[in-house]
Structure 1
Amino acid sequence: MFEQQPQTLREKVKSLATESINQANPSGWFEILYAEANGDSNQVPWAKNTPHPYLQDWLERYSPEGKGKSALVIGCGLGDDAEALAKQGFAVTAFDISPTAISWCQQRFPKSSVNYLVADLFALDQTWQHHFDLVYECRNIQALPLNVRSQVINTVASLVAEEGTLLIITRFRDDKNEPEGPPWALSEGELAQFRKSGLQEIRRDTFVEGTESIKHLRLQYRKVSL
């Protein structure tokens, strides 16, 4: 079988996402993608088999102390970011909606200290609210359509413990026009919802990628004391 070309893979992602949205199940396509990858990470467009470079840079630059602290990785994919946080000393819980992805993580890291779980961002355990010292969200919100964006942002914000940290890596769009997706880059107006949820932005780093000069943000928030 010929290796699937990137453009073909992008078209597949768009087709799967569109079909899921039409079925009112905007995150349902992730399991299909992971299952059809048949263990080939090249068929998962965001899989790097190494920690995301912006996360790795953040860990090296700021050296957060993880000992005695909890961390949650949202939409953990194949687990590399979760493992990086565990190496930093955090007690890490990592979830994905895809059972195939979670099984893949457990196969890749059989001796891991990370608690890998199948969970749905739209129906999380209520005990997770205001629970985690660090919540890490990398490019999951941007993979979901705008009509669920507010709900997802509120959910993510609610997971951060008092005085805790939220770290976000996302595409960013400057204009207010609805983008074509997936992914649907976040706008400044959408990011403002985190501040309204009691999160204070304390650091913003901007990265520009590729020939199309796609803008990405790495945002660090702190949960303000009540």
Structure 2
Amino acid sequence: MDWEQRYLDDDIPWDHGEAAPAIVEVVSRQIVPEGARVLVPGCGLGHDVRAWSDAGFAATGLDIASTALERARCRYGTDGMSWLQADLFDPELPRRGLYDVVWEHTCYCTLPLELRSAYVDAVARLLKPGGLFCALFFTDTGNGPGEGPPYSADRDEVFELFSPMFDLAWEKRPDQAYTSRVGREWLMVWTRRMHDNI
């Protein structure tokens, strides 16, 4: 998928023009440490990055598409936020254990099954031991098995992939969602294990 071209063509139906409502639910539980550094992979136009920043956290938006980041920077600026153009799977990105939180919203669903274990490794590498992986998984995209993007995420598959390096703190259907996604998402919070086996 040429994500840069999709932004150049304004062919971005996944963008709802606002942050994922579930961010409010995660923040309200007061599980994210004060001053935490939050990474938002696949941040697109930056709505979720802005929401984390507004909640008082140092938020970094990461995307492979330069046009998405340019638009995010123009709309939201850099006060309390930073923007990083890079490939999440680059092993040099950035140094190990830089972030306290990784917020997943629209990145995982772009990945077919064969790339998802690499995603888990990347998240584990970027998180501090004891850090939080807060994730809103798109469990029902309306596409058939293996069809996408977006690709649906199965809760049991997610558990199998993440449990070797993460402990599940809690999970539930989110209280709030975009109108088109009500009943089609699953919210999970995982803790990165303290030992480093990656």
Both proteins in one fold, TM over 0.5: yes
Cα–Cα, structure 1 residues 211 and 63, in superposed 2: closer, same or farther, change >3 Å?
A: closer
Q: Which amino acid aligns with 1:151?
A: A
Matches within 5 A, 1:142-221: 142-172=109-139, 178-187=145-154, 188-197=156-165, 199-207=166-174, 215-221=184-190
* Structure-2 residue corresponding to 1:24: none
- Is the contact made by 1:79 and 1:105 (CA closer than 8 Å) also made in structure 2? yes
Runs of 4+ in structure 1 deviating by more than 4 angstroms, as ranges, are 207-214
Do 1:131 and 1:161's aligned partners in 2 also have CA atoms closer than 8 Å? yes
TM-score by length of 2: 0.84
The equivalent residue for 1:136 is: 103
2:13 corresponds in structure 1 to: 45
Amino acid at match of 2:189: Q
Per the TM alignment, residue 149 of structure 1 is displaced from its structure 2 partner at its CA by 1.7
Q: Distance in 1 between matches of 2:3 and 2:150?
A: 13
Distance 1:195-1:113 versus aligned 2 partners, 3 A rule: same
When normalised by structure 1's length, the TM-score is 0.74
RMSD: 2.5
Distance 1:109 1:129, change over 3 A: same
Structure 1 residues 190 and 65: CA distance shift in structure 2, 3 A = closer
1:123-182 Cα shifts (integer Å, max 9, x gaps): 153443222111111121111122212212221222211111111111226xxx943222
CA distance in 1, matches of 2:80, 2:96: 22
Find the residue that maps to 1:47 and give its secondary structure: coil
Q: What are the residue-to-residue correspondences of 1:97-116 with 2, within 5 Å?
A: 97-116=64-83
Structure 1 residue runs of 5 or longer lacking an equivalent are 1-19, 21-28, 38-42
- Residue pair 1:206, 1:218 contacting (<8 A) in 2 also: yes
Out of 157, 173, 193, which is 1:224 matched to? 193
Which of 37, 52, 57 aligns to 2:25? It is 57
Aligned-partner residue type, residue 185 of structure 2: H
8 A Cα contact 1:72 1:92, kept in partner: yes
Distance 2:53 2:15 in 1: 19
Task: Read off the aligned partner of 1:221 and give its amino acid letter.
Answer: W
Q: 1:55 to 1:124 in 2, by over 3 A?
A: farther
Greater relative contact order (Cα < 8 A, sep 6+):
2
Q: Is the 8 A contact 2:110 2:150 kept in 1?
A: yes
Q: What SS does the corresponding residue of 2:153 show, helix, strand or coil?
A: coil
Q: Which runs of 5+ in 2 are unaligned?
A: none
Does the aligned pair in 2 maintain the 1:154–1:193 contact within 8 Å? no
